[in-house]
Amino acid sequence: MEYDLNINGEQRRVDVDGDTPLLWVIRDVLGMYGTKYGCGIAQCGACTVHIDGEAARSCQTLVESVGSSAIMTIEAIHTTTNGRKIQKAWQDLDVVQCGYCQSGQIMSAAALLSETPIPTDADIDNAMSGNICRCGTYVRIREAIRHAATLDGNAKQGG
Amino acid sequence: MYMKGTSSKSSPVDTRLSRRSFLFAGAAAGGGLLISINASMFRADRAAAADAQVTTFAPGAFIRIDKAGNVTAIIPQVEIGQGVYTSMPMLLAEELEVEPNQIRVEQAPPDDKLYANPKLGFQATGGSTSIAAFYEPFRHAGAVARTMLVAAAAETWGVDASGCRAENGTVIHDASSQRLTYGDLSAKAATLQMPDKVALKDPKDFKVIGRSLKRRDSVDKTTGRAQYSIDFMLPDLKVAVPQASPIIGGKLVGMDEKAALAVSGVRRVVRFDDTVAVIADHTGAARKGLAALNPQWEGGALTYSTANLVSDLDKAAAGEAVVATNEGDVKNAASVAATTLEARYESPLLAHGTMEPMVCSVRITADGCDVWVGTQVIARVQSAVAEATGLPVEKVRVHNFLMGGAFGRRLETDYAVQAAMIAKQVDFPVKVIWTREEDFQHDVFRPYYVDKLSAGLDENGMPTAFSHRVAGSSVMARWTPAWFVNGLDPDAVDGAAGPYKFDNPLIEYSRSEPPAGLTTGWWRGVGVTHNSFPVESFIDEMAVSTGKDPVEFRRVLLAQSPRAKAVLDLAAEKAGWGTPMPAGKGRGVSVIVLFGTHVAQVAEVSVDPQGDVRLERVICAVDCGLVVNPDGAKAQIEGGIIFGASAALYNAIEIESGRIVQTNFDTYRVMRIDEAPKIEVFFVESDQPPTGTGELGTAAIAAAIANAVFAATSKRLRRLPVGLDVTAK
C-alpha cells in the first residue's frame, strides 16, 4: 500500500503495509536513522518524533494513521527555534553520554518548550518522564531544559 | 562528523587503519607498548612507506601525524558513552603539545597484543580501566612523538634540541625565532630513531589534563547524526529479527513458516535448534513476520523458577566453600566476643537494559567476513566469529560503532556469533536486530547472590571477627577461566570485606550455577556492586547494634585508611551528616574501594506511609587520584548513581516456569527523570595516578539507600530491590 508522508517539510511516498509502525518507515524505508528503537511499546521514548508539533512515539504510530499530518524528526528539529535552543543547551551542558536516547529526549524537550516556554521542574518531570535514559543523564537534562528556556533561539547551534 | 573529519554523513567508526600506516603501528606488536618498539623493524617499514610516498609519522601504535599536520589518535578503547574519545586524546595532547580538539580519533582495529588493555592483558573496555590503564602509555606516546619532532626541527636548523620547544603543534627555536609545524616536520621525524627514554611532565605542569573538556561527540549525538550499529545499512542488506527459546534451554518444535513468508517484505525464515529468525526488507516487516511465524517451543527448564535458584544458592552457602581470606582465628575470636551478629542478604539477577538492544550486521563473502557491531571486546568478537564461521581470524574484519549503552553486556560475543550463524545461511548482508523482549529474555544477567555475614563485637562494640560467605554463579569461570583458580572467583569476593582491615577476617565463596541457557555475566560495578550492599548494610547493623553513629563507627574502622576516611569525611560534611531530618526521611552512608578509587556516598530518602521509597539526594565524594576530565568524570558518577539506584530501588529479573518474567520496560521498571535524585559530586584533590570513575557511582548506592531507609523507618532491608522488601508485608 502506498502512503504519502509529509516529513521534515518534504513529501515522501512509501510502499509498506498500513500497520507498519512509523518508526521503521522513517528508519528503514526513508533511511533517516536519528530516530531510535528502544522498546516498541511506547515505554522508553527513544522513537519520539513530532506529529503536527506534538511529541509522539513513532513505534506505536501506524503509518496508515498519519495521513497528511506533518512529521518532524531529529534530523530537522534545528529548523525550529525551540529545537535549536534545546540542542544548544544540550551541547552547552554536555548532556549526552552514549547518546542513543537523546534524539528522543530532544524531541520531547523541544515539544515541551513549544507548549511551555518557561517550564517548572514539575513541567519538566511531566513532559520528560516518558523518555528513559539508561546512562542516567537526567540531572543534566533537567538543567539543560532550564538553561534552554533562557537562550536566544536565533543563536547558531554547533554542527 | 568528528571521527575522521571528512563528511557530515556519518560513517561507522573505522577499525581498519590503512594497510601502510598499520605496518608502522604494527612495529610495536609483541612488546605491547611503545617502550619496547623494535627500531630496525620500524626503519624497514619506514623505507617501504617511503617507496609508497607515504610520509605519515607514526611513532608507535597510538599516534599518526601526516604532512598536513593532522594528528590522529588510535584509541584502543571503545566509546560506550563514558567519554574515552574525549578523555584519552587529552593524555596524548598533554605531552604532544597540541590542543586536544585538534586530535582526530580513530578506533583501533582488533589486536589483542598491540591494543591490549594493560590492566587486563587483552583488548577490552571494562572494569573502569581506560584512563587508569592508558594514563602512562598515552602520555608516553605523546612525549615520544614530541621529542622526535623537536629533534627533527633541531636537525633541520642545525641547532641543539635543548634550545627548541614545542607549543601548539609547532616547534620553536626562540634564539633564532624559527618555527616549523608538526606537519612540516613529520617526514623528517619519521626518519629518526625513537628515543629510548623520554621524560614525562610533572603533574603540576599539566595544561590539558585536569581541565574539563567538552565531549567531542556532543554535536553528533544531539543532531541524530551519531551512528550506532543499529543504523548501519548497505544497499542489499536485509534485516533479521531473531527469537531464541523463551524457555531456558527449550527447543524449537513448530512454526508457521507460510504465514511468515506471506507478510509483505519477508524474504526468508532461518531456523536453528533453539533459535529462529525472520529476514525481511525492513525491520517492521521482519517483526510482523516473526509474529506471524508464531514459533513453538518445548523442553527446557520448565520447572525452574527464582525460588529454585535461591534454594540452590542457600544449599551452596550451607555447604562447601572455597576460602579467599582467612587470617587469625575467626572462630575463636567470635566465641570470645561480647556479642555476635549474623545476617543473610540477597541480591537479584539483573538485566543490563542498554537503550540500544543487541544488534550485529554480518556479510560473508568469498573474501571473508565483515562484522559491523558495537562491542566492548573487538578482538574477542573477531575470534568468536572466526570460530563460528570456520574462517581464519585475519579474514574476519570487525567494524566497531558507537554503542547505545553497554554496562558489561557488550563484553559478550553471543549476539555477534548468532548474527554470523544467520549470515551463513544467506547470500546477502544481514543486520540482526534483537527486539527489546529478546534483549531482556536473553541477557547475560548479573548473578543472583546470597551472602551470609557474621561478626563478633568486643565490649566497645567494635568488630573482632568478621566472616562473609558469598554464594553465586561464577562469571570468571566462564569468561576468563584463567582467573578462576582453585574454585575461587576473585570477582565474586571483590569487596567482600569492604574497605576495612578487620581483625580475624574469613572470606569464602560457594559456587552454584543456574541451568544451561541462563547465563550470568558482567554488570556495571561488578563484584563490588554486589558486595557493597551486604557489607555496608551489615556495617550499619554493627554500628546501630550498640547505638553508634554509622559515620563515626566507620571513621574508627578506617583509621588506618586515610583515603577512605577522607572521602567519608568529605561526604559526611557536604551532606550535613548529623543534622536532623524530618519524620519519614533518612540518611544512609556507604564507603567502597573500587578498582583503586575511594568513594563515599550519602543518600537521602523519604519513605511514604505506603512504604514507597523515594531517593531525593545523593552526595558522592570521590578520590580517583588525578581527575583527567573533571566534568566527564562527574557525568560518569552522576549516571552511575542513577543506574545503580534504578537497580537498587526497582530491578530484579525473575524466572517463572523456565521463563524470564520481565520482558520490557513496562515490567522491568527503570528510573525515570521524575524519580531521579539531586546529585552532588566532590573530588578529593590528588596528584596520584588516576583510577576509574565509570562504575563507582553504581557500586556504592544500594547500601547507602538501604541504610537511609533504615534511618527513616528502622526497617533493615536485606534483599534487593528495595521496593520488594519495603512493600512486602
Distance to chain A for B616, nearest Cα, Å: 12
Percent of chain B, pLDDT > 90?
Answer: 91
A/B interface, count of CB pairs below 8 Å: 205
Nearest to B553 by CA among B516, B607, B590, B517: B590
Instruction: Supply B492's cell numbers.
Output: 565474586
Alpha-carbon distance of B75 to A53, in angstroms, equals 41
**B208-226 pLDDT, tens digit each:** 999 999 999 999 999 999 9
Which of B83, B227, B265 has the CB atom closest to A33's CB atom?
B227
**B236-266 pLDDT, tens digit each:** 999 999 999 999 999 999 999 999 999 999 9
Query: Identity (one letter) of the amino acid at B372?
Result: W
The label of the residue with cell 567538552 reads: B214
Query: Identity (one letter) of the amino acid at B531?
Result: N
Q: Is the ipTM of this complex over 0.85?
A: yes
The alpha carbon dihedral of B657, B660, B665, B668 has a sign of: positive
A38 and B355: CB-CB below 8 Å?
yes
The alpha carbon dihedral of A37, A42, A43, A49 has a sign of: positive
Distance to chain A for B382, nearest Cα, Å: 23
Averaged over B451-476, what is the pLDDT?
Answer: 98
A17 and B679: CB-CB below 8 Å?
no
Distance to chain B for A31, nearest Cα, Å: 9
Instruction: Supply A117's cell numbers.
Output: 516556554
pLDDT of residue A114: 97
For strand A10-15 and strand A2-7, is the pairing parallel, antiparallel, or unpaired?
antiparallel
Alpha-carbon distance of B701 to B709, in angstroms, equals 12
pLDDT at A6 over 90: yes
A99 and B404: CB-CB below 8 Å?
yes
Residues A128, A155 contacting (CB under 8 angstroms): no
Residues B718, B343 contacting (CB under 8 angstroms): yes
Min mean pLDDT across B52-56, B344-348, B622-626 is at: B52-56
pLDDT at B593 over 60: yes
Alpha-carbon distance of B224 to A47, in angstroms, equals 11
pLDDT at B6 over 80: no
Alpha-carbon distance of B242 to B229, in angstroms, equals 16
Which of B231, B405, B674 has the CB atom closest to A98's CB atom?
B405
Report DSSP state, residue B407. Answer: T
Please list every residue in chain A whose beta carbon sits closer than 8 Å to the beta carbon of residue B230: 33, 36-37
Alpha-carbon distance of B618 to B575, in angstroms, equals 8
Which of A43, A94, A140 has the CB atom closest to B214's CB atom?
A94
Distance to chain A for B403, nearest Cα, Å: 6
pLDDT at B590 over 60: yes
Which of B:139-178 have CB within 8 Å of A?
A: none
Conformational region of residue B407, where left means phi above 0, alpha means psi within -120 to 50, and beta covers everything else: left
Distances (CA, A) of B495 to B251, B500, B536, B567, B592: 39, 9, 10, 17, 8
Continuous H helices in B13-77:
19-26, 39-51
Residue A30 lies in a domain: yes
DSSP SS3 for A5:
strand
For strand B322-326 and strand B505-511, is the pairing parallel, antiparallel, or unpaired?
antiparallel
H or E, element range at B370:
strand B368-373
CATH architecture of B320-349+445-727: 2-Layer Sandwich (3.30)
* Average pLDDT, rounded, for chain B: 92
For strand B266-271 and strand B275-280, is the pairing parallel, antiparallel, or unpaired?
antiparallel
Alpha-carbon distance of B635 to B641, in angstroms, equals 10
Distances (CA, A) of B487 to A6, B475, B490, B588: 62, 12, 10, 35
Same domain, yes or no: A16 and A64? yes
**B354-406 pLDDT, tens digit each:** 999 999 999 999 999 999 999 999 999 999 999 999 999 999 999 999 999 99
Beta bridge partners of B165: B172
Please list every residue in chain B whose beta carbon sits closer than 8 Å to the beta carbon of residue A19: 288
H or E, element range at B143:
helix B130-157
B357 and A74: CB-CB below 8 Å?
no
Averaged over B575-604, what is the pLDDT?
Answer: 97
H or E, element range at B655:
strand B655-656
**A83-103 pLDDT, tens digit each:** 999 999 999 999 999 999 999
pLDDT at B83 over 50: yes
CATH architecture of B19-223: 2-Layer Sandwich (3.30)
Q: Which of A76, A100, A133 is the last residue of a domain?
A: A76
Output the pTM of the full model. 0.93
**B638-692 pLDDT, tens digit each:** 999 999 999 999 999 999 999 999 999 999 999 999 999 999 999 999 999 999 9
Distances (CA, A) of A140 to A49, B217, B332, B578: 21, 16, 53, 29
Distance to chain B for A119, nearest Cα, Å: 14
Report DSSP state, residue B494. Answer: T
Distances (CA, A) of B7 to A91, B1, B3, B10, B68: 20, 6, 10, 7, 18
pLDDT at A129 over 70: yes
Query: How many Cα atoms within 13 Å fall on the side-chain side of residue B163?
Result: 13
Beta bridge partners of B74: B106
Same domain, yes or no: A82 and A134? yes
pLDDT at B13 over 80: no
Distances (CA, A) of B217 to A82, B1, B98, B504: 21, 8, 19, 50
Would you say the CATH fold of B229-299+358-433 matches that of B19-223?
Answer: yes
pLDDT of residue B527: 96
Establish whether the linkage from the previous residue to B59 is cis, with ω within 30° of 0. Answer: no
Residues B80, B410 contacting (CB under 8 angstroms): yes
Alpha-carbon distance of B519 to B441, in angstroms, equals 11
B8: how many CB neighbours lie within 10 A of its CB? 9
Residue A158 lies in a domain: no
Alpha-carbon distance of B5 to B11, in angstroms, equals 11
Alpha-carbon distance of A52 to A71, in angstroms, equals 6
Same domain, yes or no: A71 and A8? yes
pLDDT of residue B1: 28
A94 and B631: CB-CB below 8 Å?
yes
Alpha-carbon distance of B337 to B332, in angstroms, equals 9
Instruction: Supply B200's cell numbers.
Output: 614525562
pLDDT of residue B55: 67
Q: How many domains does chain A have?
A: 2
pLDDT at B313 over 70: yes
Same domain, yes or no: A45 and A99? no
Distance to chain B for A21, nearest Cα, Å: 7
Residue A131 lies in a domain: yes
Instruction: Supply B673's cell numbers.
Output: 527523570
pLDDT of residue B540: 98
Beta bridge partners of B269: B278
- State the Cα torsion A117-A118-A120-A123 to the nearest 10°: 0
* B29 alpha carbon, distance to own chain's centre: 25
Residue B275, chain A, CB below 8 Å: the answer is no
Alpha-carbon distance of A128 to B108, in angstroms, equals 37
Same domain, yes or no: A57 and A98? no
Same domain, yes or no: A91 and A117? yes
Nearest to B469 by CA among B454, B489, B487, B457: B454
Same domain, yes or no: A17 and A65? yes
Same domain, yes or no: A139 and A111? yes
Nearest to B224 by CA among A25, A157, A107: A107
Same domain, yes or no: A82 and A62? no
Residues B677, B620 contacting (CB under 8 angstroms): no
Q: Which of A40, A61, A76 is the last residue of a domain?
A: A76
Residue A93 lies in a domain: yes
The alpha carbon dihedral of B32, B38, B44, B49 has a sign of: positive
A132 and B672: CB-CB below 8 Å?
yes
> What CATH class does B229-299+358-433 carry?
alpha beta
pLDDT of residue B168: 97
Distances (CA, A) of B95 to B472, B686, B689, B712: 45, 20, 16, 51
Nearest to B589 by CA among B550, B615, B534: B550
Q: Which of A55, A76, A97 is the last residue of a domain?
A: A76
Please calculate the CA angle B73-B79-B80 and round it to the nearest 5 degrees: 170
- Domain regions of chain B by residue span: 19-223, 229-299+358-433, 320-349+445-727
Alpha-carbon distance of B183 to B168, in angstroms, equals 12
Indicate which CATH number applies to the domain containing A21.
3.10.20.30
Alpha-carbon distance of B69 to B103, in angstroms, equals 10
pLDDT of residue A155: 57
Instruction: Supply B252's cell numbers.
Output: 524449537
**B486-517 pLDDT, tens digit each:** 999 999 999 999 999 999 999 999 999 999 99
pLDDT at B485 over 50: yes
**B29-52 pLDDT, tens digit each:** 322 222 222 333 333 343 334 444
pLDDT of residue A152: 85
Indicate which CATH number applies to the domain containing A139.
1.10.150.120
A94 and B284: CB-CB below 8 Å?
no
Which of B:183-242 have CB within 8 Å of A?
A: 214-215, 217-228, 230-231, 233, 239
Residue A156 lies in a domain: no
Distances (CA, A) of B347 to A8, A87, B324, B651, B665: 48, 39, 20, 10, 20
Structural domain span for residue A16: 2-76
Same domain, yes or no: A25 and A62? yes
A138 and B671: CB-CB below 8 Å?
yes
Instruction: Using pLDDT thresholds of 50, 70 and 90, give the confidence band for residue B54.
Output: low
Residues B290, B241 contacting (CB under 8 angstroms): yes
A96 and B81: CB-CB below 8 Å?
yes
pLDDT of residue B4: 32
Alpha-carbon distance of B338 to B334, in angstroms, equals 8
A40: how many CB neighbours lie within 10 A of its CB? 23
Same domain, yes or no: A90 and A67? no
* 3-class DSSP string for B263-329: CCCEEEEEECCCEEEEEECCHHHHHHHHHHHCCEEECCCCCCCHHHHHHHHHHHHHCCCEEEEECCC
pLDDT of residue B723: 82
Nearest to B628 by CA among B568, B694, B674: B694
Same domain, yes or no: A103 and A131? yes
